[in-house]
Amino acid sequence: MVRCSRYLFLRIREIVTLEGSEKQPMVQFKGIYKRFGNVVAVEKMNLDIEEGHLVTLLGPSGCGKTTLLRMLAGLEDPTEGDIFINGVRVNDIPIHKRNLGMIFQNYALFPHKTIFDNVAFGLKYRNVSKKEMREKVASALEMVRLPGVENRMPSQLSGGQQQRIAMARAIVIEPNVLLMDEPLSALDENLREEMRREIDNLQQELGVTTIFVTHDQREALSMSHKIVVMKEGRKQQEGGPQEVYNEPVNHFVADFLGHSNFIGGQIVDVKDDTVKVKIETGENLLALNKGRFKEGDKVELVVRAQRFDVYLPEEFEHDITANFFEGRIIDRSYMGGEVSYFIQLANGREIHVISMMRTRIYKVGDDVCVQVAPSHCHLIPLQ
């Protein structure tokens, strides 16, 4: 891992040199619009990405996340706005001069070239000697845990191994920014989990600024320093994984990240630590007071499916009746380590509950009690 150690040393030296000065974000999008004819693909995008961070652009297909990545790479030109890399405006700088490493969904390896030639491809345009090229390629392959495969062809490797070669090719040039566009979507679930860990570990080891595009919430939540949730070309929310998951700013974000229950209502009382919400069925629910809403506001209560506690009536021994309901299980799905229930409450509402495996699994038709703590009830404006 000599190459990796040298890379980290150079980065530490750079940080020490800049100590005391205000550092520019590694990547900046300022007022970015992108139109394809009359179709707006990206709108009003302002985003700063700090050096050394892994930032995920998360959203459904067609939300503009790949278009944003392609503009940064120089594969598309913004209709309006400016893009900066390390403080330098790059709108007019060609792709090969932006010092970016790119990893794609389909690996994009040259099938007729050896692994060595695939990994060394970007070095051939950087005036690197043959000796140094061999050293860099060997080091990159060591980093992705595939040493000694230089003379093989891509067809001789598995899909996961080919993805590692694509990673080696991207990092061998020591990029300022690493771009990943749905790099794991072609892999099966077990291999995806393994590669998520590989990418996460490699990014932390190198400290390279990384922008990761995906529609998979698990990838975003498990790997990111920051998540940018997008919809129809606009940024909906940005923040750390826990912030975006636990404190979504609107219905779309809450619905896209995780399994949520939405209950409409109106705030009827505000106290220091809780607010009381009268819901559509006439009952009251308590939620944590975070100081953003006042009496009379119309809101939506967001409760994650994992936040409910479920009991048989004879198992429920608590005296607390706040946020307590009776209901009946109408559907159940066993998912290994957890069980998904759909429960129809006595008031007619249907809720989704995901419960960790216990000694017993409740059956369809079981009468149950359901409770959720006020601290697990998140309020968003009713849209």
pLDDT classification of 17: cutoffs 50, 70, 90: very low
For residues 109 and 154, the answer to whether their CB atoms sit within 8 Å is yes
Those residues with Cβ within 8 angstroms of residue 81's Cβ, 6 or more apart along the chain or in another chain: 29, 30, 31, 32, 33, 45
Q: Which CATH superfamily is domain 259-381 in?
A: Nucleic acid-binding proteins (2.40.50.140)
Range(s) within the chain of domains with CATH label 3.40.50.300: 2-249
Class of domain 2-249 as given by CATH: alpha beta
Question: How many whole angstroms separate alpha carbon 115 and alpha carbon 92?
Answer: 32
The tokens describing 281, both together, are 């069925």
Q: Is residue 136 within 8 Å of 3, Cβ to Cβ? A: yes
Say what the pLDDT of residue 16 is. Answer: 41
CB 195 within 8 A of CB 162: no
Residue 22 burial (CB count, 10 A): 5
Lowest mean pLDDT among 270-274, 316-320, 363-367: 316-320
Burial class (CB in 10 A: 0-12, 13-18, 19+), 171: buried
For CA atoms 143, 145, 150, 152, the dihedral sign is negative
What does the pLDDT read at residue 22? 63
- Residue range(s) in the chain whose domain bears CATH number 2.40.50.140: 259-381
H-run or E-run covering 200: helix 189-206
Comparing 288 with 56, the larger pLDDT belongs to 56
Looking at residue 126, its pLDDT comes to 86
Q: What is the DSSP letter of 346?
A: T
Arithmetic mean of pLDDT, 319-335? 86
pTM of the model: 0.88
Phi, psi of 37, rounded to the nearest 5 degrees:
65, -120
- Would you state the pLDDT for residue 20? 42
Give the pLDDT confidence score for residue 320 in this predicted structure. Answer: 61
The answer on pLDDT for 253 being more than 60 is yes
3-state secondary structure of 223: helix
Give the model's confidence band at 2: pLDDT under 50 very low, under 70 low, under 90 confident, else very high: very low
**Among residues 335, 378, 374, 367, which one has the least CA distance to residue 354?**
335
Average pLDDT over residues 216-224: 93
Mean pLDDT, rounded, for 363-374 = 93
The CA-based dihedral angle spanning residues 310, 257, 221, 339, taken in that order and rounded to the nearest 10 degrees: 30
Q: What distance in Å separates the CA atoms of residue 352 and residue 379, rounded to the nearest whole number?
A: 18
In the predicted model, is pLDDT for residue 318 greater than 80?
Answer: no
Mean pLDDT for the chain overall: 89
